[in-house]
Amino acid sequence: MDIILENIGRRFNRDWIFRRLDYSFKVGRSYAILGPNGSGKSTLLQVIASSLTPSAGSVSYTSRHGNVEPDQVYRHLSLAAPYMELVEEFTLVEQIRFHFSHKAYLQGFDEQALLELMGLDRAKDRPIKYFSSGMKQRVKLSLACCADVPLLLLDEPTTNLDQKGVAWYQHLVRETSGGRLLLVCSNHEREYDFCDHTIDVTHYKA
């Protein structure tokens, strides 16, 4: 999926978070959206994901089958973000099955392969509410990265991960991101050092 931003801006009340942003995202490439905390990275990602509408300008989406309407973009993407919640009452297996009742598995993955990838096979029947924050982050990232969609969005992906978890994340992305459009919101180089391009939100302040 290719995405074109044309003169977009987003504001809350009278304050512009960003504006006059023109950019083209191309399938098969990876992009890091950079900026300090509170700079508008997550807001921009939500506009790109069509979960927020821009206050100015337009966003267009093109798949290999043609144009995609903004209200259908959710079918073509997976997202992992700190503000995204898992279903706490589900066991891990139930969460996986729920997620993949809406998305197809990336080629080469199934339920057992996903459990092994997470390193959480022994916790598969444990309710997610008893998982540590690091375990939950592994689940979020694995569900997003192992779904067969053309657009992968990762917001602050190493949140709650220790050094071993960061290495696991870097391996996960390298193994699963090929051939699609990857966007990473971050202010830590360890999260995006593999990206082809960077875009700094602070360059688009009013």
pLDDT digits (tens, 9 = 90+) for 34-85: 999 889 999 999 999 999 999 999 999 998 888 999 999 999 999 999 889 9
From first to last of its 206 residues, the chain has per-residue pLDDT tens of 899 999 999 999 889 999 999 999 999 999 999 999 889 999 999 999 999 999 999 999 998 888 999 999 999 999 999 889 999 999 999 999 999 999 999 999 999 999 999 999 999 999 999 999 999 999 999 999 999 999 999 999 999 999 999 999 999 999 999 999 999 999 999 999 999 999 999 999 86
Q: What percent of the chain has pLDDT over 90?
A: 92
Going by C-alpha positions, the residue among 149, 191, 141, 145 that lies closest to residue 61 is 149
Q: Domain segments of the chain: what residues?
A: 2-204
* Helix/strand/coil for 61: strand
Q: Using CA atoms, how far apart are residues 180 and 88, in angstroms rounded to an integer?
A: 30
DSSP β-bridge partners for residue 152: 78, 182
Going by C-alpha positions, the residue among 206, 192, 202 that lies closest to residue 37 is 202
Query: Using an 8 Å Cβ cutoff, are 123 and 92 in contact?
Result: yes
Q: Does domain 2-204 have CATH number 3.40.50.300?
A: yes
What pLDDT, on a 0 to 100 scale, did the predictor assign at position 205? 83
Going by C-alpha positions, the residue among 24, 5, 6 that lies closest to residue 196 is 24
Single-letter residue type at 172: L
What pLDDT, on a 0 to 100 scale, did the predictor assign at position 206? 65
- With a CB cutoff of 8 Å and minimum separation 6, the contacts of 79 are 49, 144, 153, 154, 155
Q: Is 50 exposed, middle or buried (0-12, 13-18, 19+ CB in 10 A)?
A: buried
What pLDDT, on a 0 to 100 scale, did the predictor assign at position 1? 85
What pLDDT, on a 0 to 100 scale, did the predictor assign at position 65? 83
Q: Using CA atoms, how far apart are residues 128 and 134, in angstroms rounded to an integer?
A: 12
| Alpha-carbon Rg for the chain in angstroms | 17
What pLDDT, on a 0 to 100 scale, did the predictor assign at position 191? 96
